[in-house]
Amino acid sequence: MKKYTYIFTALVLGIVASCATNPFSGKKTLALVPDSQILPSAFAQYSTFLTENKVVNGTSNAKLVESVGIKIKNAAERYLNANGYEGYLKDYRWEYKLVESKEVNAWCMPGGKIVVYSGILPITKTEAGLATVMGHEVAHALANHGQQRMSSGMLQELGAAGAQIAVSGKSAETQALAMQAYGIGTQIGVALPFSRSHETEADEIGLTLMAIAGYNPEESVAFWGRMSANSGGGAPPEFMSTHPSDQTRMSNLQRLIPKAKAEAAKFGVTFK
């Protein structure tokens, strides 16, 4: 038992030491896996992805993706510099690629590696709609959500090991039921809300970034309205989903628009 107490104590101390305040969310975030490991891996995966998929170059849409991406990147740097975080993104290697795919999606890897699928462009429709998407995806990277998910996964694995130890003296049936309950409990009670909170946080940060970049944040609500219409109402119940419902998301954005506009005003950006 002392052995496990020592391990637990060491783990707690390691977790405390691995927490740092994120300048975009203002929250202390868990970072059991350092950027020195995450970023090189992300860059390598991104390069591999680009070689295995059709990257669109030279078209007006490809140029638009790059232009909007640069504006969002510049907005992030302006925000950081104004808040005393100069050089915070020094290890980022920004890229903005349009990839031919029917998939309605976009993503940003840690380190600023962005992909927009051509399938989402009919829904973004406008430059501001595209800025909504790219601001949201960049926000995931800036808020270290990938790093947090990796760290959370490590803790869940340790929790599963602890649960196995706790029922090690029980019957095989009891052990199986206990581990099944642990899996369901952590998925619905921890992992899914954790993911939904990340989505909501990325919406808020992305809204601020697009506003600082000069895009009216009110356009975000219109974009998500189009996304909702495109999905046809086939989403799972919110408590079973990694994303908030479309209506929840749009309500949250509507509530946050004045805050995003006020933040943009600090940089001389106003909207009619």
Residue 250 to residue 203: CA distance in whole angstroms? 10
Q: Are 136 and 74 in contact (CB under 8 A)?
A: no
Q: Where in the chain does DSSP place strands (E)?
A: 19-21, 28-30, 55-56, 95-99, 106-109, 113-117
What single letter denotes the amino acid at residue 67? S
Backbone φ and ψ of 115, nearest 5°: -130, 135
Q: Which of 33, 31, 27 is nearest to 19 (CA)?
A: 31
What strand order describes the sheet that includes 113-117? 55-56, 95-99, 113-117, 106-109
Residue 37 to residue 91: CA distance in whole angstroms? 12
Q: Which two tokens stand for residue 49?
A: 């992805």
Residue written as token pair 């009919």:
122
**Catalytic machinery residues:** 137
